[in-house]
Amino acid sequence: MVLRVSPFPNGFVAGIHAIGWALIVPCFWYLDRVIAVCKSTTKERKERQEEECYLHPLKVFFGSIFFFIFFLLTAPLAFLGFLLWAPLQACRRPFSYHRVELTSAERETNRGFEQTGKASFTFASANLCLLPDSLARFNNLGHTQQRAYEIGKRIAKSVVRPNVIITVESPSSCGPVSPSDSIIPRACSDTDGGLEGQSQPTGDHRSEPTESSASSDDAEEPLTEPSSSQLNYNENSNKQGQSDNKSPAVLFSQRIRRQDEEPWEVSPFFPANIDILCLEEVFDKRAAKKLTNTLKPLFGHILYDVGVYACQPPCRCSAFKFFNSGLFMASRFPVLEAQYHWFPNSRGEDALAAKGLLSTKVLIGQNQKQKKVVGYFNCTHLHAPEGEGKIRCDQLDMVTRWIGEFQAAHKQPDEEVVFDVLCGDFNFDNCSPDDVLEQNHSLFEEYRDPCRAEAGKEKPWVIGTLLEQPSLYEEDVNSPEMLQRTLVTEEVRKQYISPPVPKQGVPLVYPEPGQPWIGRRIDYILYRETSISKLCRTELEEVTFISQLAGLTDHIPVGLKLKVSMNGDYNDE
């Protein structure tokens, strides 16, 4: 089955919807600017210290009046557009789909799994806080359109970099070490150019495109680019490497890992050759479009604008959704099936967005017995406010049930499942006393969390993924290389990573004597082995904490690499 591109059943309905939305957008934009002009980020306040003191108050006063007047002038058109737009949400599929048809050569690379029976799959997840500019500023992040464009460029640069495999023999008595991915950043021109080609192979050999170009309305000045002189670390947070002062033009990965060592690293890059990318809080439609345009030459299959709008359920005013779910999924593999559910139990400001679960089934290729090889990929974003663990637990119950129903409905006898992954922003961690209820949920009995030692206790190398918003632009965390160095040093890291949340009325004693300080890790990538084919054996290759989006979001992206081996001699009963 091939998904249709448009979320509407026919072009006529899509056209009426586009007209309605075009009438709404000007009014919405002016309202956004009314608020944004009055709210500054810490970076902007610091930059204004060099200006004359009277300039900013004048800008706020006249700017807010100007935008408010135009908001009032465009409000009647917006109301007319709303009357066209809102009723059509009842017949809208809850996501848009972009796909690029593969060439015959690329179809051959999809069948590499058929020849070897082995493959590595790489996943990444990141919360981008791409809200309308005015709302993003309450998280100390502004310039949503610029950030979306820059985030797309940085991810694209990382995904296409070469991936060199080196096997190192240890000179000490510890014996051989495991294979290590080494990184050789290629020099990139500062001039924006188009990505070569409009489709990508899904195998290991991929051509390297140049930077993505923006459309005419994206011509905004790019934010700070990551330096090509960046180190990879894979060392205990109590040990700082001596390579901090080095800045070679070409760098290999510094990590040399023993066979019994946890496979993790802190990297200034997204993993090379990501197979499926999940992004959260891509609420802004223009930002989603920018990401799609930048990433589509690398990921041929993208689901965006995921979620429902207006009255939900349709024709009832019990819950009005102003924003979609914010979920965004980019895949190298064709999407065979996709289904979205929204959480009906959201409260407060979270109820304004259609947060929920996106479940997909992707086609990998064929195995040695000519059976289809598929994978399941699920992404979600749970309830945000602290102290409301019961709501999140109920949502985890829904996630577990919906995933089971989706897989049962779309399971075919002539296919083999090689991975079942669940990722997203769960909005709770595994170290806060306030999150005990969620930490003990049965979901973690089904899905494996590679960072989790047990309920309420992280593995000692975990660093946390939630940054403190007031300090996003401090020197220690405002660039990929500086954030990377900060994350691997415990004493510095604790100044910028959000600490565990105490239980109400109970003083927090953290960490326990002799234990490392670990911040809040609310971004997860989990995988399940019980639901995949009996032919398959899964091995964890690496967990990555990614610093590449420093200064662009208040979360630290995470990556997961799984090695899957399929036994072709297995006889089904």
pLDDT tens digit sequence for 476-504: 999 999 999 999 999 999 999 999 999 88
* pLDDT the model gives residue 258: 53
* Residue 1 vs residue 270, higher pLDDT: 270
When mean pLDDT is compared across 39-43, 67-71, 181-185, 430-434, the lowest value belongs to: 181-185
- What H or E segment, with its residue span, contains residue 394? helix 389-410
Rounded average pLDDT over 127-141: 96
Do residues 314 and 90 touch, judged by C-beta distance below 8 A?
A: yes
Give the confidence band of 371 by pLDDT, cuts at 50, 70, 90. confident
How many C-beta atoms surround the C-beta of residue 96 within 10 A? Answer: 19
Q: Is the pLDDT of residue 430 over 90?
A: yes
Active-site amino acid positions: 555
* Residue 393 vs residue 160, higher pLDDT: 393
CA-based nearest residue to 95, from 409, 342, 312: 342
How far is CA 157 from each of CA 220, 288, 559, rounded to the nearest angstrom? 19, 18, 16
Do residues 153 and 218 touch, judged by C-beta distance below 8 A?
A: no
Question: Could you give the CA distance from residue 147 to residue 127 in angstroms, rounded to a whole number?
Answer: 13
Q: Is the pLDDT of residue 234 over 70?
A: no
pTM for the model stands at 0.83
Tokens representing 105 are 């050569």
* pLDDT the model gives residue 211: 38
Class of residue 123 by CB neighbours under 10 A (exposed 0-12, middle 13-18, buried 19+): buried
Rounded average pLDDT over 127-151: 96
Which DSSP letter does residue 91 get? G
Q: Is the pLDDT of residue 185 over 70?
A: no
Do residues 301 and 99 touch, judged by C-beta distance below 8 A?
A: yes
List beta partners, residue 301. Answer: 99, 331
Considering the chain, what is the average pLDDT of its residues?
82
How far is CA 184 from each of CA 204, 265, 359, 361, 456, rounded to the nearest angstrom? 16, 16, 35, 33, 38
